[in-house]
């Protein structure tokens, strides 16, 4: 257990539970073979975070998960709608059945209340808006159901824009960005008070959001392109633009996004994550850096193993000379600060 509560920018628990089947909900509370469970969260000081809905790729698609270049085609809206509603229902059941353990939160006040009462604060996020049509009706339905964060795209194209394919070493400038519908989606998210996540946008899409949105620029789970030149990571120019807008980056723990060789190798030490934190702090300042693990969504370092390993990262920050005030900001305060400015 860490001395500091940890708010995490991204996990893929919901899509994993959907894939695991009918007994998976029980598994979250009783223990499951994955990064996130009630047990691992409590042991690791994981006190809250974004719980992502992610519509799965076509199961007939064969993409080597270890390949350097991974390109994903657009998926059908009806398939995305099925997964989106199924995972939203999962989230509702999980948080309704055990609000003492996992509580749906729609505001910073609710996050703080959950923390004070010992429950994990869960903020619903949509990673890729494939299920939403041009009328944006589903956006409003999901907002009413508690959605407070949205990435217009995952790493594939959709109605709203072009996601960045996975590649290394390569530039994130991989093609066109947001469509006109995507710009409308961002404007409506601004109006509602929904965080717009930059994590899976290509560089053109990043600059489109920067132009259209009036809110702080946020990437829930990313890392520094200067250290690991993967397409999913942010260039120094992007980081500087985020700093000018008072934005924030949650550090992705994925081995392929933080290792200098870009390889999915779990033999990745804490010092690799610290190098990225150092760089992000240099570019964004102490108020612009947080955590965005990508638990249950990518290969994470063996030294962490799962959410229960988070105290090891906290200790690595201290060993690197980070004072307690800075560690607390990275672990908790910075996420709550940016959310207060966007969702209220």
Query: What confidence tens digit (pLDDT) does each residue in 228-255 have?
Result: 999 999 999 999 999 999 999 999 999 9
3-state secondary structure at position 10: strand
pLDDT, tens digit (0-9, with 9 covering 90-100), for 260-272? 999 999 999 999 9
On the CB side of 38, CA atoms within 13 Å amount to: 18
Q: Provide φ and ψ at 148, rounded to 5°.
A: -130, 5
Cβ–Cβ contacts within 10 Å for residue 271, how many?
Answer: 11
> For 98-235, where are the alpha helices, taking DSSP H only?
108-116, 137-144, 180-192, 203-212
Are 231 and 201 in contact, with CB atoms under 8 Å apart? no
Quick: pLDDT tens for 144-181. Answer: 999 999 999 999 999 999 999 999 999 999 999 999 99
Smallest Cα–Cα separation from 86: which of 20, 10, 152?
20
- The CATH class of the 6-342 domain is alpha beta
> Any bridge partners for residue 121, and if so which?
48, 103
The reported pTM is 0.97
Query: What share of the chain has pLDDT > 90, as a percent?
Result: 91
According to DSSP, the residues that pair with 201 across neighbouring strands are: 163
What are the structural domain ranges in the chain?
6-342
């Amino acid at each position: 257990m860490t001395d500091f509560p940890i708010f995490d920018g991204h996990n893929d628990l919901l899509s994993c539970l959907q894939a695991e089947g009918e007994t998976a909900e029980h598994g979250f509370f009783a223990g499951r073979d994955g990064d996130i469970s009630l047990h691992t969260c409590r042991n690791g000081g994981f006190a809250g975070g974004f719980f992502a809905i992610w519509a799965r790729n076509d199961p007939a698609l064969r993409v080597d998960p270890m390949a350097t270049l991974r390109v994903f085609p657009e998926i059908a809206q009806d398939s995305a709608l099925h997964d989106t509603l199924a995972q939203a229902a999962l989230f509702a059941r999980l948080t309704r059945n055990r609000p003492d353990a996992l509580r749906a939160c729609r505001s910073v006040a609710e996050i703080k209340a959950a923390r004070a009462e010992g429950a994990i604060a869960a903020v619903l996020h949509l990673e890729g808006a494939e299920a939403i049509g041009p009328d944006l009706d589903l956006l409003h339905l999901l907002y009413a159901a508690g959605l407070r964060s949205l990435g217009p795209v995952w790493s594939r194209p959709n109605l709203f824009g072009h996601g960045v394919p996975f590649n290394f070493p390569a530039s994130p400038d991989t093609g066109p960005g947001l469509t006109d519908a995507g710009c409308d989606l961002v404007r409506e998210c601004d109006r509602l008070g929904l965080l717009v996540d930059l994590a899976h946008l290509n560089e053109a899409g990043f600059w489109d959001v920067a132009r259209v949105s009036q809110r702080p620029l946020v990437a829930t789970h990313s890392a520094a392109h200067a250290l690991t030149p993967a397409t999913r990571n942010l260039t120094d120019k992007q980081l500087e633009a985020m700093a000018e807008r008072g934005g924030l980056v949650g550090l992705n723990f994925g081995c392929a996004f933080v290792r200098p060789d870009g390889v999915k190798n779990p033999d990745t030490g804490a010092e690799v994550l610290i190098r990225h934190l150092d760089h992000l702090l240099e570019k964004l300042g102490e108020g612009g850096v947080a955590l965005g693990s990508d638990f249950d969504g990518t290969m994470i370092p063996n030294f962490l193993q799962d959410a229960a390993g988070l105290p090891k990262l906290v200790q690595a920050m201290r060993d690197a000379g980070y004072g307690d005030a800075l560690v607390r900001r990275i672990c908790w305060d910075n996420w709550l600060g940016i959310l207060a400015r966007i969702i209220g």
